[in-house]
Amino acid sequence: MFYGVTDLTTFIIGTIFIVLLPGPNSLYVMAVASRHGVAAGYRGACGIFAGDTILMLLAATGTASLLRTTPELFMIIKYAGAAYLAWVGISLLRSALRDWRRRGEAGDAAATAAAAPRAHPFRSALLISLMNPKAILFFVSFFIQFVDPAYAHPGLSFLILGAIVQVCSALYLSALIFGGAYLAAQFRRRRRLAATATGSVGGLFIGFGAKLAGATLS
């Protein structure tokens, strides 16, 4: 046992695999980086870090367990989150359609970039992170089971686990951000390829919303 963490190796391995699973958080950060650059990508990543921190605090204090005992609250968060993901997807599809219809020179490309849904990457990523009850249930079912309830300082245990999650997330999102920036350079030369990629991401977000709408507590 390491400072109240019951199985550190298993937690690290599990966290790596969970972080690597594709989802709306990582996809949004990569999409922002590919359209608006590395700085915007990191603003989105900071939103994800903030959202994860809030969810971890809720799990550590037991607040998130209210979702299990209050199905009505779960339904509200679930449908609000699904609607928001679908809205992000529709915005990306509309942007892709504008890109596809535009032709020509650099002036049009600049106008298209300006018209793209910037939507404050930090705020958007924070909302995407928070409005996902499955993420909350992950922290309830996975995160807390590695803390020894008999340990005298559980706050320290949660801090260690939270730091591990954030480090894994930061490394993965950094790879996606720089990968997205590389794609942006390619897309600037291939306008319709960029529109197709944006439309595909939009479709995935609508799919995430539909999947979330059908999520259950089981």
63 vs 9, more confident: 9
In the predicted model, what is the mean pLDDT of the chain? Answer: 75
Give pLDDT, residue 194: 60
Q: Is there a contact between 30 and 179 (Cβ–Cβ < 8 Å)?
A: yes
pTM of the model: 0.70
Give pLDDT, residue 133: 63
Categorize the per-residue pLDDT at 217 as very low, low, confident or very high, splitting at 50, 70 and 90: low
Give pLDDT, residue 48: 92
pLDDT in tens, 93-125: 777 777 666 654 444 443 444 334 455 889 988
203 has a pLDDT exceeding 70: yes
Q: Is there a contact between 25 and 170 (Cβ–Cβ < 8 Å)?
A: no
